Structure 1
Amino acid sequence: MTEIDAGLVRRWVRGATDALRRERAALDRVNVFPVADADTGTNMYLTLREGERAVRGAPDDATGVDLLTAAARAALLGARGNSGVILSEWLRGTAIEARRGTTPATILEEAARSARAAVASPADGTILTTADAAATAGRAAEDAGGGPGAVARAAVGAAREAARTSMTEHPVLAAAGVLDAGACGLVLVLGALVAAAVSDSPGTMEPVSLDLIVQQRGAAPFVAPEPAVSHAPAPTGLGGLELMFVLTRGAAGAAHVAPRLRTRLEEVGDSVVVVGGDTGSDTAVWQAHVHTDRLPEALAVAAGITGTGSLAQVHVRHLEAAEPHEWGVVALTEAPALAADLAHAGAVVLLTGGFGATVDAVTPDDVQRAAASTGARRALVLGDHPGTGPDGGGPGSGRNGGDLDEIVALDAPTDVHVVVAVAALGTAPGTTTPQDAARSALAGLRVSGPVAASDAVTALAGLVGSAGPPDVVTALLDDDAAPVAGELAEELARTAPAAELVALPTGRPGRTVHLGVEAVPRAGAGTQQAGRQVLREGV
């Protein structure tokens, strides 16, 4: 590690990514802290996979430092979940010290320090404790005259011990009888470093597994228990929603951004992690993570710190652990209030604006990351962005989308379309595929908007007159348009008394209204209306 050999970095990153991929399910099953949402292994794998792709795409003559820097930046931008964000900062710490040309022990110390500093409220018995143990052991080995190999072996040995004792250091882990998932994940990453150091090429590298790395001499192999997660909302903490975003702004004052952002986010949630900072150019980049039940306030924090910069990958999902499922849903919206509703209904949400900050255009890569975050083998994408083509087109559609078997993007150009499609998914018969249920609902939808609140009743009358009496009317109301809901209800009572009005706030300032009407076949009207109830109340 002293010279940061490029071949070593390539073998390490590839081997660590492969190890996390193989063991992701086992790590997911022991994920009980900070939230039992069964995704730590998946999040660590998806995060490091971004780094591995960057290394794989680097020029053949890239130096080891170049490769570490590329991996760390890609992992930061693509980090998923609490554990993934922490792992990305640990990698960033290694890259920072590698650029300074310091020793292996110092690199491990900076990685541990960076990871711990990124977490607003560090806890014992976690990935942070394991990183500290690895750094301490590495320092002792180096001070005793050991070379890079000895430092790495000492680090992984100490990390292994810290992971195996994690359940004795944290009451949540002790109650569940499991090791900390993030700690075990870091052991895999460090184990891959040792394996890479003794091999000449990726093809000769020994596979790294939990059985091989986590077990102690004479101990039974590591076996993940049956899922220890609860399928009810998490009983502890402040947040049932996870908000993540990437912040890019000028490098001036960058040192103060992360501490300020951590403090502000802790006021509205928990599990706060902010990573990143100065990139060595005129811009700085951070990734932020928080669990919250106060999404509007958390978004206001994000908007308030953006300044003249911008946000990207504004990602909202519900933290309740989901049963294994074939299809996931990615929903794009520019309505902040709908983001929470859609997330509670089971979608991974990409928020594209509407809360006072400049949000970069969503890219196909953003959609693929969100699709991977659903935890499903297939994903349905609902919304409008440049990477989504007409019905069935879009990023990953009809082909392998990363680790997913399929990503299907439907033509849902407005928030009304997204709401109607998600509501249909909540009540689709078990024999109906999600894309067929969504297509069927969207085929019967007629929309109008955006219209001024003062014109909403006239617009509704026009829709009813042209499309015939509806069964369901969806009205999305900006903040100052809320009183119009009563007027719309009166219009429906006069012209279509059998119709149900579903009025949902957008959370955007202004007096704009978006309308949609559906004539649902009578056999399905009840379930479609029930779907709106699912969307309003969550699942």
Structure 2
Amino acid sequence: MPQLPDDLDAVAVRTWCSLALEALGRERAEIDAINVYPVADGDTGTNLYLTVESAAAAVEAVFAAHETGSTAPATADAVRAMAHGALIGARGNSGTILAQLLRGMAGVLADGGGEDRLREAFARAASAARQAVAHPVEGTVLTVATAAADAARDAGPGLAAVVRAAYDGARTALEATPGQLAVLGRAGVVDAGGRGLLAVLGALLETVSGQAPVRRSWTVPATIAGPVDGGGGTAGERVDGSADDCPDGGSGPAFEVIYLLEARDEAVDRLRTRLDALGDSLVVVGGDGLWNVHVHVDDAGAAVEAGVEAGRPYRIRITHFGADGLLDTRPHTEPARRAVVVVVPGDGLAGLCTEAGATTLIARPGEPPASGELVDAIRRAHAREVVLLPNDAALRHTAGAAAEQARTEGVRVALIPTRAAVQGIAALAVHEADRSFDEDVVAMTAAAGATRYAELAVAERQSWTMAGICQAGDILGLIDGDVAVIGADVPATARTVLDRMLASGGELVTLVLGENVPDALADALTEHVREGYLAVDTVVYRGGHQSAPLLIGVE
């Protein structure tokens, strides 16, 4: 039997994220089915799953990057990664609130994960979540989180006792939600967001105690009474008190708008006021310059413009509510025969691939897309056949999961396991929609496989590599994923990398320059290739804001 943790250290955080993802994976369909508030869009369980998936992936990345042998990463690194991953991957109203709950906990647990810190973490989480919601309503996930915090505060000694008390408090509060919110009582269900939070708390309880809580169905009798006096809402009430379009057929906002925002705190305060006037279900979470914004509005453009005025919005997702009140993500035109979906590391390549007819998804530095985002991109492509180019070896499993999900929706998906953006460019260059799907996939796969790839990176610390020991600040030349060259500057390292790659032949060199790399470097490398390899052509693209200063492909 594995040893149970005495405090919530990095390994325990990793286990918690993994178990929470498993729990939501099992239960998301049930949670989706009971989702009626604030909008009966049937996706609360899925949104929570995708949010935790992003959090778990961020924690895994911390462990993968840790290079101190058998010692685990610091607890602070793990909990901050969890919170950051949830923030950038938060989906929907429920996922955004969960991200703030995890952020509140991380702010405390970064300084230690003992039982007293955990009590404080639950309290901080509940408080932070309420502050993030423009108009808090009782009978929701906020109520469940507060009950968990109150129970944890009064729990007996021991880490497991604190978590068990929080879980039991949350469960009791969840059972009471139909009596606090009329729409839940009429539907005969508990709050879906609270139900998802209970699954996350159950995973934490299993982490610290070794025993998973007993699962149960959370539907309630349809005859249950509506809100008691002083309850948190009236029939069909939304988060801000306006009529909910789904249970009662009233008119509600037409769009759900979500985006990440880089902005100063004072600008976000103004943004909250602006968005609160535009719509409802407003939740803004985050801090330290990065925020996740969620709102339901009639004017999606105005919501995005408000973000532009506040800072730099990106990963913008706008979803239409159908006539039945459900989120409608389906285009209303006949699907195309075939499309290509490409993950790219920067804005420049996104423009290039879009011009070539592909549907693009930008992977920001340190923010790999979750499977749900890839599924959304496949849906946006709106085609019967889709070729998916992940362009990153680390996205193999994520892309595979997205492809499987899309197949269940009737889309024929071929996943070409491209490991770098230059391989994706090569595959897209030979794409022909007029030939058969299988022939097109074979040709694109062959083009990608015939392209060797490299990138330049800056070493963050002293480390042992395949090319020797590097020091912080050294320029690393990675060929086919392995460090092959250690240099002092970008131009010399790039020339050495090119020479090694072209030693085995090649006809075309592709250079993708990062945002701050001068054109003079491209000119110098193009001249280097022209002088040393007469039969080799060079093409240059601007990649925009990407993690690597230079990407290189040789075909």
> Does the alignment pair 1:93 with 2:130?
no
Post-superposition shift, 1:408?
A: 6.7
- 1:128 is matched with 142
Partners in 2 of 1:403 and 1:139 — Cα distance?
Answer: 43
Change beyond 3 A, Cα 1:92–1:210:
same
Q: Are 1:85 and 1:287, in contact at CA under 8 Å, matched by a contact in 2?
A: yes
Partners in 2 of 1:43 and 1:155 — Cα distance?
Answer: 23
Q: Are 2:205 and 2:213, in contact at CA under 8 Å, matched by a contact in 1?
A: no
- 1:222 is matched with 218
- 1:296 is matched with 301
Change beyond 3 A, Cα 1:319–1:291:
same
Could you tell me which amino acid in structure 1 is paired with residue 402 of structure 2? Answer: G
- 2:373 is matched with 370
Q: Are 1:166 and 1:180, in contact at CA under 8 Å, matched by a contact in 2?
A: yes
Change beyond 3 A, Cα 1:2–1:305:
farther
Structure 2 gaps of 5+ residues are: 67-71, 223-235, 237-243, 334-342, 348-359, 391-395, 415-432, 438-555
Partners in 2 of 1:97 and 1:398 — Cα distance?
Answer: 34
- 2:472 is matched with none
Residue deviations 1:497-519 (CA, integer Å, cap 9, x gap): xxxxxxxxxxxxxxxxxxxxxxx
Partners in 2 of 1:236 and 1:8 — Cα distance?
Answer: 46
- 2:165 is matched with 154
- 1:276 is matched with 286
Post-superposition shift, 1:380?
A: 3.9
Q: Are 2:245 and 2:251, in contact at CA under 8 Å, matched by a contact in 1?
A: no
2:48 paired residue among 44, 52, 56: 44
Partners in 2 of 1:94 and 1:46 — Cα distance?
Answer: 19
- 1:463 is matched with none
Post-superposition shift, 1:259?
A: 3.2
Change beyond 3 A, Cα 1:209–1:52:
farther
Change beyond 3 A, Cα 1:92–1:402:
farther
2:314 paired residue among 294, 312, 315: 312
> Does the alignment pair 1:24 with 2:35?
no
> Does the alignment pair 1:118 with 2:132?
yes
Post-superposition shift, 1:320?
A: 3.5
Could you tell me which amino acid in structure 1 is paired with residue 389 of structure 2? Answer: G
- 2:177 is matched with 166
> Does the alignment pair 1:264 with 2:274?
yes
Residue deviations 1:330-358 (CA, integer Å, cap 9, x gap): x8xxxxxxxxx99xxxxxxx9x99xxxxx
Q: Are 2:89 and 2:370, in contact at CA under 8 Å, matched by a contact in 1?
A: no
Pairwise mapping of residues 395-434 of structure 1 onto structure 2 (< 5 A)?
A: 395=390, 399-401=400-402, 404-406=405-407
Change beyond 3 A, Cα 1:231–1:300:
closer
Q: Are 1:15 and 1:208, in contact at CA under 8 Å, matched by a contact in 2?
A: no
Post-superposition shift, 1:52?
A: 1.0
Could you tell me which amino acid in structure 2 is paired with residue 184 of structure 1? Answer: R
Query: Any idea what SS the aligned residue of 1:106 has?
Result: helix
Partners in 1 of 2:45 and 2:25 — Cα distance?
Answer: 8
Residue deviations 1:177-209 (CA, integer Å, cap 9, x gap): 11000011111111111111123xxxxxx5556
Partners in 1 of 2:106 and 2:91 — Cα distance?
Answer: 20
TM-score with structure 2 length normalisation?
A: 0.55
Pairwise mapping of residues 453-492 of structure 1 onto structure 2 (< 5 A)?
A: none
Q: Are 2:257 and 2:297, in contact at CA under 8 Å, matched by a contact in 1?
A: yes
Could you tell me which amino acid in structure 2 is paired with residue 72 of structure 1? Answer: A
Q: Are 2:183 and 2:247, in contact at CA under 8 Å, matched by a contact in 1?
A: no
Report the count of equivalent residues: 346
Q: Are 2:151 and 2:165, in contact at CA under 8 Å, matched by a contact in 1?
A: yes
Partners in 1 of 2:212 and 2:161 — Cα distance?
Answer: 20
Pairwise mapping of residues 318-333 of structure 1 onto structure 2 (< 5 A)?
A: 318-320=320-322
Change beyond 3 A, Cα 1:105–1:394:
same
Query: Any idea what SS the aligned residue of 1:179 has?
Result: coil
Post-superposition shift, 1:269?
A: 0.6
Post-superposition shift, 1:103?
A: 1.5
TM-score with structure 1 length normalisation?
A: 0.57
1:187 paired residue among 173, 198, 219: 198
- 1:392 is matched with 387
Partners in 2 of 1:192 and 1:317 — Cα distance?
Answer: 31
Structure 1 gaps of 5+ residues are: 200-205, 212-220, 279-283, 332-340, 343-349, 354-360, 411-434, 440-539
Could you tell me which amino acid in structure 2 is paired with residue 80 of structure 1? Answer: R
Partners in 1 of 2:298 and 2:325 — Cα distance?
Answer: 22
Change beyond 3 A, Cα 1:403–1:22:
farther
Q: Are 1:243 and 1:315, in contact at CA under 8 Å, matched by a contact in 2?
A: yes
Q: Are 1:134 and 1:155, in contact at CA under 8 Å, matched by a contact in 2?
A: yes
Partners in 2 of 1:135 and 1:207 — Cα distance?
Answer: 20
Query: Any idea what SS the aligned residue of 2:258 has?
Result: strand
Post-superposition shift, 1:223?
A: 4.8
Post-superposition shift, 1:233?
A: 9.4
